[in-house]
Structure 1
Amino acid sequence: MEERPSEASEDGVLDKLRRHVRILVDIGRLAGENADLNRFLDQTVVQIARAVEIHHIKVLQYRPNTSDLLLAAGVGWKEGAVRSSTFTIDLRSAPGRAFQTAEPVSIRDFREQDEYIASDFLKEHGIVSVTNVPVLIDGAAWGVLEVDSTTPRNFTEDTTDFLTAAAALIATKIRGRERPNEEARLMVAAAEAQKREVLLREMQHRVKNNFQLVLSSISIQKRRYAEEGAHRALDHVASRIHAISLAHDQLSFRDEGQSVRLSNYLRALCGAIRQQVDGVEIEVECDELELSMDRALPVGLILNEAAMNSIKHAFGPEGGKIRVRLVGGVGYGEARLTISDNGRGIQKYNEHGSGIKLIASLARQIGGAVDQETSDSGTTTALTFPLMTS
């Protein structure tokens, strides 16, 4: 007796679900073995490709120091791409959106939408359709699991559920790998230092989770408004939130309290800003300095505000360059942060504008002073502030 199409379809769905379950069991078994993380991830992406029947899979790991996503493992990509290629965490990037909002992101066909931008890497491999799920550890994103298709594809809820489960197994392996290293550190470190490290990580996870919720909310709000002005305003808010999130990534404990390696923070922030625009180069030169968390945040926000002002107002279609320089030992225990561009000058420079007021207010919070100059050869913002770590 010939099988009815509906019955065949149901059997196909059941076969797919059974395959997904078998492969999740295999990934779980791999996670329980003693293989190092790279070997585990290399084997896992092959299993995921079997499950979803798509040749291109990748696991992207967030790197706080460079504010990007590293292709930590993958299958189907050109030789040399794995563990060397990087991707932005810009909200216009599908993996960047999944990472920052901690929510799945699927695109049926890049050519049918304008909300997301396909990277040159995807174009080089002929990818037109993607789906991403975040790899979450204690609610905070460690990275992203991405499936890429060379043909348009509607990714079903079943596929998203499978990928979410696979991402959870990847997170379990990562946590298991970190525990032995942590135990070794605990044997060497003093009891109080141990407690601080644990508290710090817990705080970072919770704070990052909160940032992801806020960025997700902004993303939802953008979809409710068609006006370009509203999108610009929301993007500006998102960039400020991201600047604060990056500072928490650089957070560490010292005996005197929470501190941020300011040089690493500013480099990561400049990397994130660079990813948001085309044609603008950012050159960074930083002395190795540290500041307390509550003092480093205003410095980063001033850099973010000044750089975004240059990007929006100082350059034409040809783009330009922004130079960021952080120097310690200025005057009597002070440091100076300089942000300068080679643009045409900010044509509508308003010393009473909200951006200028924000920069001045942030400078006052840390006992600093700001000088700003603009001309037809460029704009320079200089922040001088006392180098106190607490």
Structure 2
Amino acid sequence: MPARLPESRSADLTIRLHQQAILSEFSVEALRGDDIDRLLQRAAELCAEGMGAEFCKALEYLHTEDMLLVRAGVGWGPEVIGKARIGADLASPAGFALKTGRPVISNHLENETRFRTPQLMAEHGIRRAINVLIENREGAFGVLEVDDSREGMFEEADIAFMQGFANLLGGAIERLRTEELLRAALARQDLLAREMSHRVKNSLTIVASLLALQAKGSESEDVRSALIDARTRVEAIAGVHDQLWRHSEPGDIDLALFLGTLCANLQSGAPHHRLVCTADPVHVPADRAIPFGLLVNEHVTNAVKYAYPDGGEIRIRSERAGDRLVLDVADDGVGLPADFDIAQASRSLGMRVVKNLVRQLGGSLTMPRGGQGTRFRIDMPLTG
């Protein structure tokens, strides 16, 4: 039969095991926590519980004031938390721990000759205190302190327990601040990207306006037509950049919204035609939205020019098929010549542009037969 431990030793072992369980519980919270104040408050609560103490406080060092702010705590009133300050000089227990990095135990503050008793602690009748430094690679954050107004003794073993809390806090604070800096950097990058897209869009709009003015002033029908075509292509690219700076996800385009806006712009330039636009909700990278928009622009422009002598309906449909996207542009107009071969169609600038854009998207261009008019279908992957 194993020998029994002395009662005092058994009680001490129970306390230490309880402290280790509490520390283990907090370690999970420190890894998952996303709010410094909540972590500091939780640490103060658990630390006071593990030490069986009345008071605990987490102090943040205010560099500009050389003071320690009571950021969180247990046992203190609302007039203390977030408001009370303690001197951070070497003459205070917390200041000594902060400046030297060494833990401080003072079991008889009323007889203490090394330090003065801060007014806050005197007002609450604090008789003993233990302080450990909270730090990380950024430097000292502050001090974790346990206080009690009752007689008793804090021991060296208590330092290990409290230092465990302080170390977990230091690591968690460093992680949260790093994450905050990363979020701020990403937000700034997002803002710069949006601003750049907005400026590019405005510049392209100016170019489109200049092309329109040049077209109006041209006496040649061929030149005027070429300038109008160029204007619509520039407007299609401007539309992508308009979506870029408005959209919530940088570099990502809501294709349904983009296609609707593009068709509305094309409709304004074709008052005798009716454009019917439908699109599945799907997001694509901006570098794919631009050639996609230009494809729609080319097909609609061609349909407006050649399908109907007096106007008619043009249908634009964008449909998701698994990891691919299918674009259909169809009309009920005069149709193409019977001997039209899409593989050989490269005489017009518009068809050369279309074929190059399809190749850029890694897609295929076909002309499903059946019914009146013309139908172009582009099948392409969603991502490049």
TM-score range (shorter-chain normalised) is 0.3 to 0.5
Q: Which has the larger radius of gyration?
A: 2
Alignment TM-score, normalising by the size of structure 1: 0.47
